[in-house]
Structure 1
């Protein structure tokens, strides 16, 4: 188990370093000069040069990379070109929206998908199974921003149960904050729930065909008892994989939803920073999201070893 953890931790560290190089290089080769963009087309060359020096853009590339990657681990991410405030403060303020939104959406997705997937597996070949498969196929096919607009039309414009957008802040109370995040979370959760339900169903059906399930049935357990006592836990490994990927996607892929609902989260921050060519903000937020994705995958692999200890012993 110790060797397994060491190997995964080393893989995590290497992945972070490689990802940081990719993110930095990709944004470096993007055409255009942030200083020239900020000053406009008619700016004098000496003014542009002075601003480049002020922003640290005149330093060698390797020095800027080392300074940036060192800041990632110390929290000193530099100062935003546009907002003129520390990037760490911008990100910290937006995390209080994006992380609860992702967690809320993942919770809804799990609460929907697990019982639906188990029900479809238990009723394989029935009308219930066909209905579940059809519904999940629709959920996968329809984009989440279309769900978002439909939710706004029904629950905000027609029924007036929720606001159409904006976020009151957690100072207004946890209830008001969660209420503002409900429609965005549902819009994010429904397509992910469809994927997770199909994975849960497939994993359970494969598990129910295993020899130990047949042995359990031969000893007198009903199909339902064998499913709940043995099959569900052993079907969790592929489901954990999807859960980890979903949280990463929900955290990093909510740019469209946050803009639809005007939520001041990381996705909207990245969108605004790209529009303003505030590359230091874009670079830091993207790297933070990359680290979150790698960290979640690392934790999922640790969870594998807890669900099935044989995985840790194979290393």
Structure 2
């Protein structure tokens, strides 16, 4: 287990280094000078140059990269060019929107996918199976931002059951805040639920074909008893892995949804940073999201290795 842990940890460190280089280089080639953008169209060139010096933009790319990475290792993400406050404060404020949204969407996705996948597997090649698989195929094909706009049109504009966007804050009350996150969470959850339901069905069908399941049936257990006592429990191992990966995707992939619903989360902060050339904010937030994805994947791999001893034997 120690060898497997060290291998995965090395992979995580290398992935973070490569990701930081890619993020830094990608934003370095983005057109537009942050200092010129902040000073306006008619700004004096000497004033722009002074601001560039103050912001550290005149240093070499290697120096700026090393300074940025060293700051992140100490928890210092720099000062936002636009808001003039530490980026860490902006991230902390916006995280209280993005994190509950991702968790809410994950719970909805799991509650939808588990029953759908089990029903489809239990009724293989029957109308229920074809119907569920057809709906999941549609859920995968429809972009979540288009589905989000449909939700806004029907439930906010037509029926007026929900607000079209915005977030009142947790100080307004838990249920009021969760109500404002419901439509965005549904828009994020349905495509993920479609994927998870298909994985659940496939895993359960593979488990039902195992010898120990046939042995349980031969001992007199009914199909339903075999399904719930043996098959479902063992089929959950790959499904739990997908759930962990989906959480990181929901946390990092809500940029468009947060902009559709005008939610003050990390995704909208990245979008605003790009439009305002606030590159230090964009780099720090994107790197934080990359770290979240890699860290969650690492923890899922470790959990999978604990459950499945074959991985530990392969690492040796």
* TM-score interval for Structure 1 and Structure 2 normalised by the shorter chain: over 0.9
CA distance in 2, matches of 1:232, 1:37: 57
Matched residue count: 315
Conservation of the 8 A alpha-carbon contact between 1:217 and 1:226: yes
Counterpart position of 1:252: 252
Counterpart position of 1:151: 151
* SS of alignment partner, residue 314 of structure 1: helix
**Cα 1:187/1:302, change in 2 over 3 Å:** same
* SS of alignment partner, residue 42 of structure 2: coil
- Find runs of 4+ consecutive structure 1 residues off by over 3 angstroms: none
1:59-70 counterparts in 2 under 5 A? 59-70=59-70
* SS of alignment partner, residue 263 of structure 2: coil
| RMSD of equivalent CA atoms | 1.5
Which string of whole-angstrom CA distances, capped at 9 and with x for unpartnered residues, describes residues 249-294 of structure 1?
2111111111111100011111111001111011001100100110
Counterpart position of 1:133: 133
CA distance in 2, matches of 1:141, 1:168: 32
Measured after TM superposition, the shift of residue 208 of structure 1 is 1.3
Which string of whole-angstrom CA distances, capped at 9 and with x for unpartnered residues, describes residues 211-240 of structure 1?
222222222222222222222233233323
CA distance in 1, matches of 2:81, 2:260: 25
CA distance in 2, matches of 1:50, 1:272: 24
Counterpart position of 1:197: 197
Question: Unpaired segments of 5 or more residues in structure 2?
Answer: none
Measured after TM superposition, the shift of residue 145 of structure 1 is 1.7
* SS of alignment partner, residue 54 of structure 2: helix
Which string of whole-angstrom CA distances, capped at 9 and with x for unpartnered residues, describes residues 100-144 of structure 1?
000100110001001110110011111111110111111111111
The answer to whether structure 1 residue 274 and structure 2 residue 279 are counterparts is no
CA distance in 2, matches of 1:62, 1:208: 56
Counterpart position of 2:304: 304
Conservation of the 8 A alpha-carbon contact between 1:4 and 1:313: no
CA distance in 1, matches of 2:35, 2:253: 29
CA distance in 1, matches of 2:44, 2:160: 53
* SS of alignment partner, residue 235 of structure 1: helix
TM-score (norm 1): 0.95
**Cα 1:307/1:228, change in 2 over 3 Å:** farther
TM-score (norm 2): 0.95
